[in-house]
Structure 1
Amino acid sequence: MNQDKDAPLREDIRLLGRMLGDTVRDQQGEAVFGLIERIRQTSVRFRRNDDRAARQELEGILDALSREQTIQVARAFSYFSHLANIAEDQHHIRRSRAHLIAGSAPREGSLAHALARAFASGHEASELAAFFDTAAISPVLTAHPTEVQRKSILNCETDIARLLDRRDRMVLTPEEREHSDEAMRRAVLILWQTRMLRPAKLSVVDEVANGLSYFDATFLREVPRLYAALEDQLAQRDPALGALELPAFLRVGSWIGGDRDGNPFVTAEVLERALAMQAAAVLGFYLDELHTLGARLSLAAGLVSASDALLGLAERSPDRSPHRKDEPYRRAISGIYARLAATHRTLLGSEPPRHAVAQAEPYLNAYELSEDLDILHRSLVANGSAALARGRLRLLRRAVRVFGFHLAPIDLRQNSDVHERVVAELLATAQPGTDYRALDETDRCEVLLTELATPRLLASPHVRYSDETEGELAIFRAARNAHLRFGKEAITNCIISKTDDVSDLLELALLLKEAGLLRPHEQALDVNIIPLFETIEDLANAPTVMDRLFALPAYMSLLESRERMQEIMLGYSDSNKDGGFLTSGWSLYKAEIGLVEVFAKHGLHLRLFHGRGGSVGRGGGPSYQAILAQPGGAVQGRIRLTEQGEVIAAKYNNPEVGRRNLEVLVAATLEASLLSDNAPAPRAEFLDTMQALSDAAFAAYRGLVYETEGFERYFWESTVISEIAELNIGSRPASRKKGTRIEDLRAIPWVFSWAQCRLMLPGWFGFGAAVKAWRATHPDDGLARLQAMYKEWSFFATLLSNMDMVLAKSDLAIASRYAGLVKDPALRDAIFGRIRAEWQDTIDALLAITGQKELLDDNPLLKRSIRNRFPYLDPLNHVQVELLRRHRDGHDDARVRLGIHITINGVAAGLRNSG
């Protein structure tokens, strides 16, 4: 049965692979094609049959490649990974549609499944509608230093995906099939002829433009459709709800243009540019939709009625065309268009591409535009044309409510050390002799609270401050201006990296006061102050820090202006780099439990912001399971989580895949909030066992990474970290400081580097040692306890499921070739030997607990996907190692560097969630 279901996937992969092969033959010649095909067949033979002779043959072929051949081989296998991704996405869409067409039970992660579960547990549709009144769900797009995909490549892939989708949904005539194949060949040719890598480093503005493409492709259209589907499903369940319209609980956020932590290129000017680019994108979308809507709603006054409000809109419209005199709906839309065009001119200082019929007054805010669209809606419903109101107009009305004139709220983020230095300089200048940084925590808080109680500002326009202080003050002033220009929803959050105490939050509050974003006399705060707890120690201290903060009446009075809601951000990436996979996951879980208790004590609303990456080593893994595995009370209908780098493209470049991922977030949040009471709390002995496992895993991980002499050198020599730092794949440097210390390295390139060499160390190291230590001290029931935890506790099961996936993507034979790059044989053998032993211990422990015979036995779909990909990844890894060897031996020409960068791109595409 599975064979039949997967047949279309295999057919698509063969089709795309054949077209790529034909393209290589046509463009590079028969010899290059023959070489690539020989490598492919040999690699497949080795992987599928574990043929040792095939492996030796493969290594011999690859070792003998010339530089030019190496580039062609790397490009071919990299592009095959890209094409395989397209085919897999299309297969997921195909299977989802097949289930819907067959009338199958709703699938896990869908809205229909979540609602069915809620109804089955006794919740009424009216209760669910009320749940969304206070819900807040937000995926937040971030750029990062390992984002490898160029927008031009993504555009090519989008074209190929559309052609595949058309072939899948339509029965084509022979002529249509021929035209489709020809179009597909053209698309693959363009992909082959498109430069895979950027010639220059990305600027922040480039990253903003890349981020905007996902709004155009997916969010602006699919978010309103998701709302409509949810409203319809609830209304069908309970007709008394009528034409239900839910509040805007799902919004897409962004860090791009506002994340200054370690990125000196994010300035006030860049923030302003990002906001303007976003506004231009959303206003352009609205104008296009209005233009189309005006063309469609050709309703004549003699044939349909119109409300007085609608007629008033039509009369106020500057549209005086005699051809539309008796078409009040068109005239009303022309007037709305004219006002929106004037808004474009006012906010952005430029005319929209398509001019209005005449001049009009601009809208003061998006709410005014929404009111005019509501007049159209109500008039259509009243005249018996509700079907028209439910079409394009319904989606446009929803888009305006969600995206406003700002498109996406941009979060501001900065490191607490920077805030501390800026506050210290402001205090020292305003009160000479003040040494703020020399004060202890208690005295710091006293000074800050004193300043927060007075409207007096510290900064003087007559003083020239350091560049850092001037830059920070300029950012907050730009945020204040953004509120006045685009509305307060343009910037709603300020995040403090490396938060470790109460003063860190009060320092940010003081800086917000300097820009008018906090007004003491009104006890008003215009943005959320959000601490980011990142290290293992900081996560452990988070509940205590927040408890002390909430004990301050001055801060609590500010929270009253934020509806008594406090957001907390949890750092998955840095806690993993700090303490390893198991301890990071457990520390996050415990921090959430502690925070839930503290917030309940103070009667506040908690919203958690999960700083997850794409890889398991950075908190990645399936979002649905991750949200459901949160401890009881941690979701409460409110959740934000980061969507990072190449994962954004994987999730949201295809509109249907994007819609599915958005649905998963909403469905999981609903289930975790309303149905978590049905799940039993973990047993006390489970918690004790988890702590023991964490302690042992932490010791093993820290012992290797931070306490082993020479480990830092091993890491830099055995991975592509040096080359990643040189690659033009992001606007931020790979390290926060100059040097090679692991402590200073950003978590993202740390994880990305281990993925490239197929070790995936941050996603599993320490687990084997932890289980071995536990079973040694509990010889009778140790394994049985772990097996019970896996069966009964979703948190533990999710940890092991994610580790299962990571281990399945690892390959010790390939990793050993990277280890061969380490110049000191003794260092290489000592460290790789420890890694190899722990890898085997971890797999043995995982299989024993889960009862699987092989990795991914419980996930056959992913198992097949990985098995099919490995024959195309192996040559890329082998080529990468050889190129790294040449590069580091002094063969530093452009072609060698190009080859390394192409293989980095290809391996990342093949692994899909590596950064």
Structure 2
Amino acid sequence: MKNQAYFMSTQQPKLTRFKQNVLSKYHIYNSIFMTLPFDTISKTGVLLPLFHETCEKGFKNGDNPTTIVETFFKKYQGRRNEESQLNLLFRFIQYIERQVVLFDAIEDAAFPIVNNMDGIGTLRSLKGSARAENKLEELKKYLREFKVRIVLTAHPTQFYPGEVLGIITDLSEAIEDNDLLKINDLLAQLGKTPFFKHHKPSPYDEAVSLMWYLQNVFYHSFGKIYDYIQQNIFEDEVLENEVINIGFWPGGDRDGNPFVTPEITLKVAQRLKESILRNYYKDVRRLKRRLTFRGVEDKVSELESKIIPMCEGKNPKAMDVQEFKSILQNIKQTLIKEHQSLYIDQVNSLINKVHLFGFHFANLDIRQDSRAHAKVFNDMVDKLLETGSDIFPKNYHDLTEQEQVKILSNIKGKIDLSIFEDEDVLKTLETMKVIKTIQEENGERAANRYIISNNQTTLNVMQLWAMLKLVAFHDDLTVDIGPLFETIEDLENAPAVMEELYTNPQYAAHLKKRGNKQTIMLGFSDGTKDGGYLMANWGIFKAKERLTEVSRKYDVTVIFFDGRGGPPARGGGKTHQFYASLGPTIEDKEVQLTIQGQTISSNFGTLDSSQYNLEQLISSGIQNKLHGESLAMSQEHIEVMDDLAKRSYKAYSDFKGHPKFVPYLERMSTLKYYAKTNIGSRPSKRGKSSELVFEDLRAIPFVGSWSQLKQNVPGFYGVGTALKHYEDAGEFDKVVELYKGSSFFKTLIENSMMSLSKSFFDLTKYMADDPEFGEFWKIIYEESETSKRLILKLTGYSELMQEEPSGKASIAIRESIVLPLLTIQQYALKKIQEMQKEGEPDKEKIEVFEKLVTRSLFGNINASRNSA
């Protein structure tokens, strides 16, 4: 009956499914909050709808947030003193935070109904279309080499503590089962569970938090997908390629995070191994209950006896992964020969998981900034020369970059770390020893990639190469070095850097040993911050084309690893559509991308959403391979796209160069409050200067601050100006042709629409009258209006996101839920500004309003989870 109900429901339009299974349930379950036996909750629940109505009417009338808040208290709560008013605003924030959680849980529960699990982009659909087009063998060929890797990062865009994530999971299950009693209890639990973290998490805390997803979601969804591919596409043929794998940054990402130590990296790797072994142990226990046959039972018991002490860390070397696989294969063969293959699917499924996860669970990447490396490297050389070492020539620092690269390419020797005293030098070099240790204990795949962020030159790569060889990998470097190119300038220089590396005999020999594969990471977040939305995406597209060309020239398979965030402004948005639109000029044997914060919980937080979105990524890469030739951009389209990107870049650069740009962010936005949220272990900016410098800004608080203002500048600024040039010149038809003919450009425009859909300038309209920032606000507003008008003209839509009614509806509800939060936040910011202008400001009072701003950040960000 459940399957029949599912089938019936998925036949309805997606918007209808959304309204019935999400919107209606939200209104029903939201009313339960009002009945909870907590005085503060019930009173708040009665007053919040009145405040919400006051906000809606106020913004329609053109009122500012201060007027709206004061109107509410005057009309409904006239007897409250100022302290009581502030307490009520804090309670509104707490209540709305929990409304967002409820909506998340309901959307999670409805995911498989709202999103057809067998529809377009799923593996079942992919297999069907390949068979219909007589391309099944071609599909198999691609799956034998094609890979998708999602890399979990601890970048702080997730404001839910672990306890709340657990409640969301349990609440989703209760909602799916319509278990009212359990829902009531969980909402009561939610009402008493704090959202605010009083202390920053350590990098190890972050790693353990993300391992919950590995153990409870990815272990199962990866296994299910791989089982389907093997059984239904390859018809149980052995498949060497794992197709999907998972990367992990917490505990290994040192870029700008001084709290990540070699000890933590090793501890995280050990925890990853223990975590996967615990999952295997559960599966072995299940097998033990079923495989009670002669010749099999004893082998399962043997596995169990070896895994238990390994899980507990008592005997980590009781068995290696090869022995584990061998015993399972032996069990499988015995079942085939002697027991009519009974329960063989369960054994196969465990063999597949061991193939996917080994004893490492996830590939732990190490990352550090090139400038940090350069300082450590130079300090290391100085110390070695000082102690009389002959590894480097005495005049090393006086040599040209080319001469230095030549010396580093042929570096030999071993260095004794005990001679170093500098903490940064020791941390960096000890980390390289730790990589070797992890490989020895968990297998090479456990830690075999080192990312260099802010990579600018060949020397940046070769400095790391030399340190790795001198410290730990003297004869055989079993680590892939992945340069990360981020700024517009670095993207343009990237092909020349890679050609220097490919033509370096020693580096080329290293690549040959690594299967002639080269990982190159490209950063959308900092690219957008540096060059604006269109130029960042087009700059990366062009860089990929040129890097593909130079790599193919030297018979190297380039693997592009995309540093993406959740919102479109940081490379997010419709990610699978992006990969499906790349065309034949970009190497696409693997899709690799970072997944972080609310993107993990929203796109991969449940078994259904994880399976669906992983299948979409696999399908997008395969579709690009099967139909890539038809996606190639014509020369005319390339010229128009290039011109749009340049015009957009000029507009964004002028805007970024405006003297009020940094002061506006610093004083009118929530930028400086991100550091107070305690959601991530790393500092909120790179430099140590007390003065705010644009270059030191991290992409997350930068993009997030625009989002809190409901201005979403990085997702659209410059798009309108670029399109307007073509309208003014009477050549708008050229852009329309580009939109119709290029899936890549269409995806960019759709993502920009999402950013504009989440903009709400009525919230900050009062800033137009500000004597210092009024004109700057108007510049942003006018660009948003131009962008919106011309995107609608370009697409032929009457409203933004017209072709995605369910996505638009989800955004509209979430924006409505947090409207009071946004109003409170702006009210508090304005109060702080006013008090700071006073001769002797009341510091205690300012602190209270600052706390209001900080607390209001949480719900606003969490409500934006569908930006992923």
Q: Same fold (TM over 0.5)?
A: yes
C-alpha distance in 2, partners of 1:568/1:873?
Answer: 39
Q: Indicate how the Cα distance of structure 1 residues 484 and 17 shifts in structure 2: closer, same or farther if over 3 A, else same.
A: same
Matched position secondary structure for 1:659: helix
Residue 857 of structure 2 corresponds to residue 908 of structure 1: no
Query: Is the Cα–Cα contact under 8 Å of residues 200 and 678 in structure 2 kept in the other structure?
Result: yes
Q: Indicate how the Cα distance of structure 1 residues 450 and 892 shifts in structure 2: closer, same or farther if over 3 A, else same.
A: farther
Q: Which residue of 1 aligns with 2:637?
A: 686
Residue 72 of structure 2 corresponds to residue 61 of structure 1: yes
Q: Which residue of 1 aligns with 2:759?
A: 810
Identify which range, 442-451 or 69-78, moves more after superposition: 442-451
Q: Which residue of 2 aligns with 1:855?
A: 800
C-alpha distance in 2, partners of 1:900/1:62?
Answer: 19
| Cα displacement (A) at 1:224 | 0.7
Identify which range, 900-909 or 561-570, moves more after superposition: 900-909
Q: Give 2:369's match in structure 1, choosing from 397, 401, 415.
A: 415
Residue 572 of structure 2 corresponds to residue 620 of structure 1: yes
Aligned pairs (5 A) from 1:344-493: 344=311, 348-349=313-314, 362-363=318-319, 365-391=320-346, 393-432=347-386, 434=394, 439-451=399-411, 455-457=412-414, 459-493=415-449
What amino acid maps onto 1:827 in structure 2? E
Identify which range, 216-225 or 861-870, moves more after superposition: 861-870
Matched position secondary structure for 2:520: strand
Identify which range, 87-96 or 797-806, moves more after superposition: 87-96
Matched position secondary structure for 1:431: helix
| Cα displacement (A) at 1:342 | 4.0
Aligned pairs (5 A) from 1:723-872: 723-738=673-688, 739-776=691-728, 778-779=729-730, 782-816=731-765, 819=767, 825-872=770-817
Residue 29 of structure 2 corresponds to residue 10 of structure 1: no
Q: Which residue of 1 aligns with 2:670?
A: 720
Q: Give 2:821's match in structure 1, choosing from 868, 872, 876.
A: 876
| Cα displacement (A) at 1:465 | 3.9
C-alpha distance in 1, partners of 2:51/2:356?
Answer: 51
Q: Which residue of 1 aligns with 2:259?
A: 265
RMSD: 2.4
Q: Give 1:107's match in structure 2, choosing from 112, 119, 122.
A: 119
Q: Indicate how the Cα distance of structure 1 residues 29 and 561 shifts in structure 2: closer, same or farther if over 3 A, else same.
A: closer
C-alpha distance in 2, partners of 1:395/1:15?
Answer: 40
C-alpha distance in 2, partners of 1:186/1:144?
Answer: 32
What amino acid maps onto 1:338 in structure 2? S
| Cα displacement (A) at 1:52 | 6.7
Query: Is the Cα–Cα contact under 8 Å of residues 751 and 914 in structure 1 kept in the other structure?
Result: no
Matched position secondary structure for 1:270: helix
Query: Is the Cα–Cα contact under 8 Å of residues 150 and 593 in structure 2 kept in the other structure?
Result: yes
Q: Which residue of 2 aligns with 1:325?
A: none
Query: Is the Cα–Cα contact under 8 Å of residues 69 and 824 in structure 2 kept in the other structure?
Result: no
Q: Indicate how the Cα distance of structure 1 residues 115 and 43 shifts in structure 2: closer, same or farther if over 3 A, else same.
A: farther
Q: Indicate how the Cα distance of structure 1 residues 841 and 435 shifts in structure 2: closer, same or farther if over 3 A, else same.
A: farther
Q: Indicate how the Cα distance of structure 1 residues 652 and 815 shifts in structure 2: closer, same or farther if over 3 A, else same.
A: same
| Cα displacement (A) at 1:895 | 5.2
Q: Which residue of 2 aligns with 1:79?
A: 98
Query: Is the Cα–Cα contact under 8 Å of residues 427 and 434 in structure 1 kept in the other structure?
Result: no
Q: Which residue of 2 aligns with 1:131?
A: 142
Q: Indicate how the Cα distance of structure 1 residues 233 and 58 shifts in structure 2: closer, same or farther if over 3 A, else same.
A: farther
Matched position secondary structure for 1:500: coil
| Cα displacement (A) at 1:493 | 0.7
C-alpha distance in 2, partners of 1:136/1:31?
Answer: 53
Aligned pairs (5 A) from 1:215-364: 215-235=214-234, 241-245=235-239, 247-299=241-293, 301=294, 328-344=295-311, 348-349=313-314, 362-363=318-319
C-alpha distance in 1, partners of 2:806/2:62?
Answer: 27
| Cα displacement (A) at 1:751 | 0.6
C-alpha distance in 2, partners of 1:93/1:333?
Answer: 35
Structure 1 unmatched runs, 5+: 101-105, 168-179, 236-240, 302-327, 352-360
| Cα displacement (A) at 1:680 | 4.1
Q: Indicate how the Cα distance of structure 1 residues 436 and 699 shifts in structure 2: closer, same or farther if over 3 A, else same.
A: farther
Q: Which residue of 2 aligns with 1:203?
A: 202
TM-score by length of 2: 0.91
Residue 18 of structure 2 corresponds to residue 19 of structure 1: no
Residue 49 of structure 2 corresponds to residue 94 of structure 1: no
Residue 675 of structure 2 corresponds to residue 675 of structure 1: no
Identify which range, 492-501 or 508-517, moves more after superposition: 508-517
What amino acid maps onto 1:406 in structure 2? H
Residue 592 of structure 2 corresponds to residue 637 of structure 1: no
Identify which range, 142-151 or 549-558, moves more after superposition: 142-151
C-alpha distance in 1, partners of 2:73/2:615?
Answer: 44
Percentage of pairs with the same residue: 25
Could you report, residue by residue, the CA deviation over 1:55-105 in whole angstroms, capped at 9, with x for unpaired residues?
976762169771110111111122112211222232231234xx56xxxxx
Q: Which residue of 1 aligns with 2:165?
A: 154
TM-score by length of 1: 0.87
| Cα displacement (A) at 1:516 | 2.8
Q: Indicate how the Cα distance of structure 1 residues 242 and 160 shifts in structure 2: closer, same or farther if over 3 A, else same.
A: closer
Could you report, residue by residue, the CA deviation over 1:234-259 in whole angstroms, capped at 9, with x for unpaired residues?
14xxxxx5555453221111011000
Matched position secondary structure for 2:177: helix
Query: Is the Cα–Cα contact under 8 Å of residues 196 and 902 in structure 1 kept in the other structure?
Result: no
Q: Indicate how the Cα distance of structure 1 residues 108 and 903 shifts in structure 2: closer, same or farther if over 3 A, else same.
A: same
Could you report, residue by residue, the CA deviation over 1:722-781 in whole angstroms, capped at 9, with x for unpaired residues?
1111210100111110231111111111111111111111100011111122333x32xx
Q: Indicate how the Cα distance of structure 1 residues 379 and 717 shifts in structure 2: closer, same or farther if over 3 A, else same.
A: same
C-alpha distance in 2, partners of 1:491/1:259?
Answer: 12
Structure 2 unmatched runs, 5+: 1-11, 78-83, 387-392, 836-842
Matched position secondary structure for 2:151: strand
C-alpha distance in 1, partners of 2:28/2:348?
Answer: 40
Number of aligned residue pairs: give it: 830
Q: Which residue of 1 aligns with 2:180?
A: 181
Query: Is the Cα–Cα contact under 8 Å of residues 33 and 45 in structure 2 kept in the other structure?
Result: no
Could you report, residue by residue, the CA deviation over 1:36-60 in whole angstroms, capped at 9, with x for unpaired residues?
132244556779xx57799976762
C-alpha distance in 2, partners of 1:59/1:630?
Answer: 52
Q: Which residue of 2 aligns with 1:163?
A: 174
Query: Is the Cα–Cα contact under 8 Å of residues 583 and 631 in structure 2 kept in the other structure?
Result: no
Matched position secondary structure for 1:855: coil
Could you report, residue by residue, the CA deviation over 1:771-811 in whole angstroms, capped at 9, with x for unpaired residues?
122333x32xx211111111110110000000011100111
| Cα displacement (A) at 1:505 | 1.0
Q: Indicate how the Cα distance of structure 1 residues 893 and 711 shifts in structure 2: closer, same or farther if over 3 A, else same.
A: closer
Q: Give 2:89's match in structure 1, choosing from 43, 47, 70.
A: 70
Query: Is the Cα–Cα contact under 8 Å of residues 410 and 506 in structure 2 kept in the other structure?
Result: no
